[in-house]
């Protein structure tokens, strides 16, 4: 089994001098260990480093980079803490304290990441108008400011409330709600619901739903699939069966524009050739 460079350098040496571990790792090593591209790992480190950096640097102090990389590696692989600690040159109790410290920090202060200007945020009025114009040109649907869908991210079976995380494919997952724009960008995301939650339930209990209910987006609407309920701010396809020519045309136009969310999720979960194919479907 291959081991990241920062593991080899620390495995038998419990001294943690100040150094830039990420700069010594290749893109492949960072992605294999953390599941993230180098820029993703660097951004997460930038958000958390001021809060997990040791107050005093001693011979045995664990740097912020080691803490964040250890935690990301644990989240990525789900391996036993003693194995992660062994890989990183740490004892199991130390690895456990590090993972718990970073996890509690993220859960107790979500603003550390959600308030970053580079993180997913819903567009302002001017950008909403541009998105609406682009979708109208594609599908003739007016006032569309986003496409919504859910996507399951598989996880290891949790120790608590395990059944609620089982999805329709009998896998353990998190049901991630995604809203995208015409350029295949995330403009809203919710990743706090178990895989057993239905898409419509996730939407009704999301902050973006509350913002639509309060009229914050005016006449703005979302486009969803049949998993959502039709409302003044949600366009969904008509049920299959005997439908009028108008409804059939409506469904075709809606399906064509929903390729945007398929393309966005494909880009997120299956980068490469599949994304190019989906993108061609949307542009066509």
pLDDT in tens, 252-262: 999 888 888 88
Query: How far, in Å, CA of 8 to CA of 10, rounded?
Result: 6
Name the most confidently modeled range: 30-34, 87-91, 97-101, 112-116.
Answer: 97-101
Query: How far, in Å, CA of 278 to CA of 225, rounded?
Result: 17
Determine which of 79-93, 228-242, 249-263, 268-282 has the lowest per-residue pLDDT on average: 268-282
**Greater confidence, 243 or 118?**
243
In this predicted model, what pLDDT tens digit does every residue of 105-114 receive, in sequence order?
Answer: 766 655 555 4
State the burial class of residue 143 (Cβ atoms within 10 Å of its Cβ: 0-12, 13-18, 19+): middle
- Residues 121-137 have a mean pLDDT of 91
**Greater confidence, 139 or 61?**
139
In this predicted model, what pLDDT tens digit does every residue of 142-160 receive, in sequence order?
Answer: 999 999 999 998 888 887 8
Q: Which residues are registered as beta bridge partners of 222?
A: 146, 234
- Residues 24-31 have a mean pLDDT of 76
């Amino acid at each position: 089994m291959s081991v990241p460079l920062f593991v080899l350098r620390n495995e038998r040496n419990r001294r943690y001098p100040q150094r830039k571990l990420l700069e010594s790792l290749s893109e492949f090593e960072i992605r294999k260990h953390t599941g993230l591209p180098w820029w993703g790992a660097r951004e997460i480190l930038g958000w958390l480093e001021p809060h997990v950096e040791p107050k005093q640097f001693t011979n045995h102090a664990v740097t912020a980079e080691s803490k964040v990389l250890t935690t990301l590696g644990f989240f990525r692989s789900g391996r036993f803490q003693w194995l992660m600690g062994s890989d990183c040159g740490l004892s199991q109790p130390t690895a456990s304290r590090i993972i718990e410290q970073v996890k509690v920090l993220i859960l107790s202060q979500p603003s550390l990441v959600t308030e970053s200007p580079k993180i997913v945020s819903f567009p302002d009025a001017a950008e909403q108008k541009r998105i609406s114009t682009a979708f109208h040109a594609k599908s003739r649907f007016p006032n569309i400011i986003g496409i919504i869908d859910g996507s399951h991210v598989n996880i290891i079976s949790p120790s608590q409330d395990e059944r609620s995380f089982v999805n329709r494919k009998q896998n353990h997952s998190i049901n991630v709600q995604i809203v995208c724009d015409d350029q295949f960008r995330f403009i809203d995301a919710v990743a706090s619901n178990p895989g057993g939650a239905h898409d419509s339930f996730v939407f009704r209990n999301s902050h973006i739903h509350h913002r639509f209910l309060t009229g914050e987006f005016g006449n703005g609407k979302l486009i969803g699939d049949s998993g959502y309920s039709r409302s003044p701010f949600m366009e969904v396809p008509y049920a299959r069966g005997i439908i009028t020519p108008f409804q059939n045309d409506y469904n075709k136009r809606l399906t064509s524009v929903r390729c945007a969310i398929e393309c966005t999720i494909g880009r997120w979960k299956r980068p490469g050739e599949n994304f190019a194919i989906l993108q061609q479907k949307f542009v066509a």
